[in-house]
Each structure stands twice: as C-alpha cells, then as structure tokens.
C-alpha cells in the first residue's frame, strides 16, 4: 500500500506549522516562567533553603570534632575501644587536645557539644583545659585524679560519638534516649518528655480540629445560604477576630476565663457555682483548647464557606422530593459535596495547631504545653541542633500525615476557595 503524501502545513513564511507552534509555545512558557521567577526565588530563599539548612543542622555539629583533632584521630583508628577502660594513648590525646583548646579558646564549644549528651561537661572541660598543661603522664591516672568524671564510660561514649561531624545523637535525644555508661538507653520515667509531648500535641490538635469543624459547619452553612446583605454582615463578624492581633485575642480569653474572670464572676453572681468553687478554665488544657479553637476557627469557616456557596440548593430539594428524610438528604447529598471544604479546613487547622507556640505558652499552664514550646526553649538556650531535630521530626510527621491524607482522601479534592 503506497503511503499518501501528506501535505505539510506551513505558515505564511514557509516554516512548518508544527515547529512554529512549538517555538511560540516555548516563548510563552519562558515568559510565564519569568513571571513566576520572583516568587520562586523568594520561596527558595526564605523557605526551602532555611528548611534544608535546619535539617542539616539537626545531624551536623563540628564543635568537638574540630576542637579535638588528636582524640578524633585516635577514635578513628580505634573504633572498637572499651569505653569502660580507655588506654593511656586515648588519655594522652585527650590531654593534648585539652591543652590546645585552652590556647585556641575552644573549650566552651567542645564542652557545650559534649554537654548535650553528658550534662555537666562544660565546667568539666573548662577545669580540665585550665590544668591540662600542668598534668604529667600517665594521664590515665592524673586526669581522673583532677575529676573522677573523666573516667566515666558515658563521657567516653559521648566524646567518641561527638568526634564525628555527622551524628544521629540529636534525634536520639529527641526520642527520649539518654546516654548512659552502657550506651544509649531509654531515660527514666521522670526525664522522658519529647515523645509524650509529640503525642499530646497531635491529640490536642486533633481535638481542636474537630471542635473547629463542629463550630464552623453551621456558621459556614448560614453564611452560604443567607441573602447577600445579611451574610456580608455575618462575614464581617467572622473576619473581625481574624484581623485582630493574636495576642489581643489570647489575652482577652485570659480576662474572660481566669478564676477571677468575667465568666466565673457571672456564674458566682448567678449562684451557679460557689465562690470557693470557681471553675479552673484558664492555665490548663481547657484554656489552651478554647483559645486555640477560637484563634483557628476562621481557617475552617472560610474554606467551608467557599465550597458551600457553590453547592446548588436544587440538589437537596431534588433529594427531598424523591422522598429522602432531611437527615438522609444531609448525609447522602449535602455532606459529600462539602467534603473538599472539610478536608481543606481540617488540614489547615490541624497543621497550624501542631506548630502553635504563643497561645499555649500564655494560657497553657502546667499541662497545656506543646512540642513547639520545647523547640523555642532549646532555641533560646542555643542548642539549635536539638531544636532542629525536634522540628525535623515535627516536619516529618506532618509530611507523613499529608501522605496518608493524600492516600485516603486525595489531595486533588482539596478546595481552599
């Protein structure tokens, strides 16, 4: 069968149409890319690079490796040494490094690095470095004579681990492990805090998300179905708190809910509670949940509203006319159509709640503390690597949830407005 010669379509100047089209499209794409470029650069510079840098910090620390080269070299040569009884060469390398730290003024950096896993090391290193030059061999005896801590197996394990620039140590600490004389082990009950706070943070965030959904759904429905004039007025009432400073809203909840606050005073005046039995609604978990629910409510209302507004009321009417009860209509017809809004709102509120810091700090009291408060604590105490490790775990768990969410609900069903 002979192939029919296809007439090649060309443009007016004789170029094949296909090629001309491709060039034109490429040009348009380049122009579009140039328009997006500023945003891309901005996101890269202020978002992605800091995150990468933070993650890098969570497993990188050269404080000890760079200030104790002799000992680091010895650890490299003897990876299987016995921390319970390190040989004289190890002590000699350590004393040599201590003397060097004193000259180079790196005692603090090295001590701080070891202190992360073996508390008490900063002053130990300072003392050791001051005396290092006057110590005499055998160092295996003279150094522990200065302070018996120098012979502690945990310290040697800590130094061996810190002599590498890259380490998983900060993640171990963030998983409530403690460096003991026998290696990394689960800390004592009264010292474990991070995993517990992770669990609590996710639980509280889930409760807040649920409360926001329950409160926001009817409001959003009302907003979507009322005539324009009334719904605009209502919308302002929703947005007004949204525009108010977070601190103002948090402190007004304190004024309302504290023991001598407005709500308790009213209950006492009405005789509903006794003056000595005022309700504790602030500086505890209740306070955190109430204040955070209020602060995050608009993030649920707005996506729900934008989805509900475009649901044609005729669907529900059709269902009713076909004999469905109002409950069935809601469950089978209306609710499924609002799912993209519910999904978007829940995701927004949950992710914001997980990282919330200032509200729990102000109203949390003893048991309303969240994981972000500990990140802030380690930032302020300049243990940035541990803060980065906890933040990294938080980021990982949110990405995991996002992935689960995508598998279960599907990210393409998300609708923000």
Q: Which residues make up the interface to another protein (CB under 8 A)?
A: 45-46, 49-50, 53, 56, 105-109, 111-112, 115-116, 119-123, 126, 189-193, 196-197, 200, 258-261, 283, 361-362, 365-367, 369, 374, 377-383, 386
Count of residues making up the chain: 417
Query: In the beta sheet, which residues pair with residue 10?
Result: 16
Q: Would you say 181 or 367 has its CB closer to another protein? A: 367
Backbone phi, psi, residue 179, to 5°: -80, 115
Q: Would you say 337 or 373 has its CB closer to another protein? A: 373
Q: Would you say 110 or 304 has its CB closer to another protein? A: 110
In the DSSP assignment, the letter for residue 284 is: S
Residues 283/364, Cβ–Cβ less than 8 Å: yes
Closest CA to 296 of 370, 217, 241, 232: 241
- Work out how close the CB of 86 gets to another protein at its nearest, in angstroms, rounded to a whole number: 23
Dmax over CA atoms of the chain, in Å, equals 102
- Work out how close the CB of 255 gets to another protein at its nearest, in angstroms, rounded to a whole number: 8
- Work out how close the CB of 260 gets to another protein at its nearest, in angstroms, rounded to a whole number: 4
- Work out how close the CB of 273 gets to another protein at its nearest, in angstroms, rounded to a whole number: 16
Could you give the C-alpha distances from 195 to 288, 365, 394, in angstroms and in order?
Answer: 20, 19, 11
Query: In the beta sheet, which residues pair with residue 185?
Result: 178
- Work out how close the CB of 97 gets to another protein at its nearest, in angstroms, rounded to a whole number: 16
Q: Would you say 236 or 247 has its CB closer to another protein? A: 247
CA 346, distance to chain mean position in Å, is 17
- Work out how close the CB of 45 gets to another protein at its nearest, in angstroms, rounded to a whole number: 6
> At 166, is the secondary structure helix, strand, or coil?
strand
Q: Would you say 144 or 261 has its CB closer to another protein? A: 261
The string over 307-324, giving b where at least 16 C-beta atoms fall within 10 Å of a residue's C-beta and e elsewhere, is bbeebeeeebeebeeeeb
Q: Would you say 321 or 382 has its CB closer to another protein? A: 382
């Amino acid at each position: 069968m002979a192939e029919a010669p296809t007439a090649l379509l060309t443009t007016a100047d004789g170029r094949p149409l296909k090629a001309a089209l491709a060039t034109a499209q490429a040009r348009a794409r380049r122009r579009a890319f140039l328009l997006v470029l500023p945003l891309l650069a901005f996101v890269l510079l202020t978002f992605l690079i800091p995150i990468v840098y933070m993650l890098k910090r969570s497993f990188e620390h050269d404080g000890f490796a760079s200030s104790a080269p002799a000992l680091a070299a010895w650890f490299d040569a003897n990876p299987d040494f016995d921390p319970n009884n390190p040989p004289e060469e190890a002590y000699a390398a350590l004393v040599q490094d201590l003397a060097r730290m004193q000259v180079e003024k790196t005692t603090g950096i090295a001590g701080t690095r070891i202190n992360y896993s073996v508390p008490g090391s900063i002053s130990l290193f300072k003392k050791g470095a001051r005396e290092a030059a006057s110590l005499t061999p055998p160092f295996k005896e003279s150094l522990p004579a200065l302070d018996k801590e120098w012979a502690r197996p945990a310290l040697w394990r800590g130094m061996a681990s810190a002599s590498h620039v890259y380490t998983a140590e900060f993640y171990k600490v963030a998983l409530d492990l403690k460096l003991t004389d026998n290696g990394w082990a689960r800390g004592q009950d009264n010292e474990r805090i991070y995993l517990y706070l992770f669990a609590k943070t996710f639980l509280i965030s889930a409760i807040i998300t649920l409360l926001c959904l329950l409160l926001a759904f009817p409001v959003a429905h009302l907003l979507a179905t009322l005539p324009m004039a009334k719904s605009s007025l209502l919308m302002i009432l929703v947005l007004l708190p949204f525009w108010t400073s977070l601190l103002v809203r948090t402190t007004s909840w304190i004024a309302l809910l504290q023991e001598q606050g407005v709500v308790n005073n009213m209950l006492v005046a009405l005789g509903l509670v006794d003056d000595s039995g005022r309700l504790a609604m602030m500086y505890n978990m209740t306070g955190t949940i109430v204040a955070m629910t209020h602060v995050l409510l608009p993030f649920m209302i707005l996506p729900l509203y934008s989805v509900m507004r475009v649901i044609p009321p005729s669907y529900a009417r059709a269902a009713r006319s076909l004999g469905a009860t109002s409950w069935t209509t809601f469950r089978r017809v209306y609710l499924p159509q609002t799912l993209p809004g519910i999904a978007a709102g829940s995701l927004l509120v949950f992710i914001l709640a997980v990282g919330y810091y200032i509200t729990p700090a102000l109203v949390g009291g003893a048991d309303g503390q969240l994981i972000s408060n500990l990140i802030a604590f380690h930032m302020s105490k300049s243990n940035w690597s541990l803060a980065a490790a906890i933040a990294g775990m938080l980021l990982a768990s949110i990405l995991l949830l996002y992935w689960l969410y995508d598998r279960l609900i599907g990210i393409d069903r998300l609708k923000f407005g």
